[in-house]
Chains A and B, each alone.
Chain A
Amino acid sequence: MVDIQLHDQSCRGCGMCADICPTRVFDYDDEKNKASIRHAEDCIACLSCAYICPSGAITHDNYRVVKNFYRDLTFCGKMEKFL
């Protein structure tokens, strides 16, 4: 299961994470102006919340990282000479 964490002190309360999340993982408290994680079990690790969060308050662990099909092997081969 994906482990999603929201750093409470870093959250600026913009609510963009709650808006972009397709599975409604986040809950937004209008009084405190803070987002919180409500349904962590629904996180699909699309990472959109982490990308959009302006203060970098959201982190994910234990998720499937997309395989990099298109690594430029020729470039990597050239760079290896310098490393």
Chain B
Amino acid sequence: MNDITEARASLQEAMNFLGALASGIEQAIGQSATSISFLAGKRLGMQFSTGAPTTDNIEQALKTIRDVLVKFDCLWHFEPFKPHDRASMVACQGDEEDILLMYSDCMIRQSLFKFGHAQQGSLCNMMNGFFSGAIRNIMGYESSLTILHAGENACLKRLTVNRKTHVDDFHENGGSSS
């Protein structure tokens, strides 16, 4: 039990440090902080999803990402969301497919609230990058995760997969090599 307590305390300190760091670099270097955090998250998403089963289906890809997160003990609960005025869960528009995602448990939100940092900053973009990296490995396409609403208990985001931008080094059943 003591090990868990110590591990949890370490994680808490690390997340608080990361929250403060992200908030600090936003003030220091402005908009560039978002790009840096996004790319760091993307790299993490690609690392975590290496070897994950590939699919062309966006909903199946999300299930795989959930499995990847569970495998790495990341408690980051999300689920697809379909409002009443949306015909289907996945909407297609030209070469783009999008799906709404609702995030409830989020360690980033918790660490931001701890010291009163604003949401939708660079740290949120790091996790957006995580999704982008994972989708790149699992589906072989570039994607973006847009924050539609950052709430106190849940956030609503839109995941857009661009089927025009197929990754060159993507191999089925193996993901991308980079």
Chain A positions near chain B (C-beta within 8 angstroms): 20, 22-24, 39, 41-42, 44-48, 51, 63-70, 72-74
Contact = CB atoms under 8 A, between A and B. Distances in A.
A50 to B, nearest CB: 8
23 contacts: A20-B149, A22-B148, A22-B151, A41-B84, A44-B154, A46-B149, A46-B151, A46-B153, A46-B156, A47-B151, A47-B154, A64-B77, A66-B104, A66-B105, A66-B109, A67-B75, A69-B11, A69-B15, A69-B110, A69-B111, A70-B16, A70-B111, A73-B8
B151 A66 contact: no
Nearest to B106: A66
A63 B77 CA distance: 14
Interface string B158-177: 00000000000000000000
Given A24-B83, A39-B84, A67 B105 contact: yes
A24 B85 CA distance: 10
A64 B111 contact: no
Interface in B60-91: 75, 77, 81, 83-85
Contact of B149 (A48, A67, A68, A69): A48
Nearest to A64: B104
Interface size class of chain B, counting residues whose CB lies under 8 Å from the partner chain: 20 to 34
B57 interface: no
B95 interface: no
Contacts of B104: 45, 64, 66
A65 B15 contact: no
A63 B153 contact: yes
The residue in B11, B110, B114 that gathers the most chain A C-beta atoms within 10 A of its C-beta is B110
A66 B110 contact: yes
Interface in B102-134: 102, 104-107, 109-111, 114
Given A47-B153, A48-B152, A69-B75, A23 B83 contact: yes
A68 B8 contact: no
A44 B151 CA distance: 10
